[in-house]
Amino acid sequence: MFKKIAEILGFNQKILISCYGKLPVYKDFIFISTDARETYYFKEWMDKGFGKSQDKGLSSAGYRILIAFPQQRNIVVASIWNSSDTGGLRQFPFAFFVVLPRGVLKDTGINTLVPIWEALEGYYAAVNEVKDISEFYKKYRGLSLDIKDMEPSTDISEQLQHISIDVLRESLFKENSRQCWHNLLQDISTILTLPQTVNGREVDIALRLPLAISIDIPLQIEMWIRLIRANFPGQLPIPTILFPQKGEAGDLLSCNILWRNPSHDDTQLLGNDIGEYQHVMDLTQITGEGSGNLMIEGIKTMADMSQYQFVIAQYPVAIPEN
pLDDT value at residue 104: 81
Domain count, the chain: 2
Q: What is the pLDDT of residues 178-191, one digit of tens each?
A: 999 999 999 999 99
Look at residue 262 and tell me whether its pLDDT is greater than 90.
Answer: yes
Q: Residue 1: pLDDT band by 50, 70, 90 thresholds?
A: very low
Domain boundary among 121, 149, 177: 149
Asked whether residue 322 is domain-assigned, the answer is no
DSSP E strands, the chain: 14-16, 18-21, 30-32, 62-67, 74-81, 94-101, 144-146, 205-211, 240-244, 253-259, 281-282, 292-295, 311-317
**Contact predicate 86/26, CB 8 Å:** yes
Q: Do residue 129 and residue 198 come from a single domain?
A: no
Query: 193 in a domain, yes or no?
Result: yes
Q: Is 17 helix (H, G, I), strand (E, B) or coil?
A: coil
- Domain membership of residue 299 (yes or no) is yes
Contacts of 201 (CB under 8 A, 6+ apart): none
Residues 90 and 129 in one domain: yes
| Domain match, 218 and 261 both | yes
Higher pLDDT: 146 or 182? It is 182
Condensed to tens digits (0 to 9), the pLDDT of residues 81-90 reads 999 999 888 8
For residues 240 and 297, state if they share a domain.
Answer: yes
Same domain for 126 and 188, yes or no, is: no
Do 168 and 135 share a domain, yes or no?
A: no
265 domain residue, yes or no: yes
On whether both 164 and 269 belong to a single domain, the answer is yes
Q: In this predicted structure, which of 148-152, 161-165, 202-206 has the lowest mean pLDDT?
A: 148-152
Structural domain harbouring 15 = 2-149
pTM score above 0.75: yes
Q: Among 62-76, 143-157, 299-313, where is mean pLDDT lowest?
A: 143-157
177 & 305 share domain: yes
Q: Is residue 208 part of a domain?
A: yes
* Cβ atoms of 270 and 60 closer than 8 Å: yes
Mean pLDDT in residue range 272-288: 84
Shared domain for 19 and 122, answered yes or no, is: yes
Single out the residue of 291, 282, 272, 309 nearest to residue 176, CA to CA: 291
- Is 51 among the domain residues? yes
**191 three-class SS:** helix
What pLDDT was estimated at residue 267?
Answer: 93
The reply to whether 209 and 169 lie within a common domain is yes
Would the pLDDT of 263 be above 50? Answer: yes
- Do 37 and 150 meet the contact criterion of CB atoms below 8 Å apart? no
**C-alpha closest to that of 19 among 131, 99, 96, 112:** 96
**pLDDT number for residue 312:** 76
Q: Which of 134, 149, 164 is the last residue of a domain?
A: 149
Looking at the fold, whether 308 and 214 belong to one and the same domain comes out as yes
Averaged pLDDT, 257-280? 87
Which residue, of 90, 114, 149, is where some domain finishes? 149
Greater pLDDT, 62 or 11: 62
Indicate if 95 and 199 belong to the same structural domain.
Answer: no
State the Cα–Cα distance between residues 70 and 62, nearest whole angstrom.
Answer: 25
Q: Does 97 map to a domain?
A: yes
* pLDDT band, residue 4 (cuts 50/70/90): low
How deeply is 46 buried, as exposed, middle or buried, from its count of CB atoms within 10 A (0-12, 13-18, 19+)?
Answer: buried
Residue 240 lies in a domain: yes
Decide the pairing of beta strands 281-282 and 253-259.
unpaired
Q: How confident is the model at residue 48 (pLDDT cuts 50, 70, 90)?
A: very high
pLDDT > 90? residue 206: yes
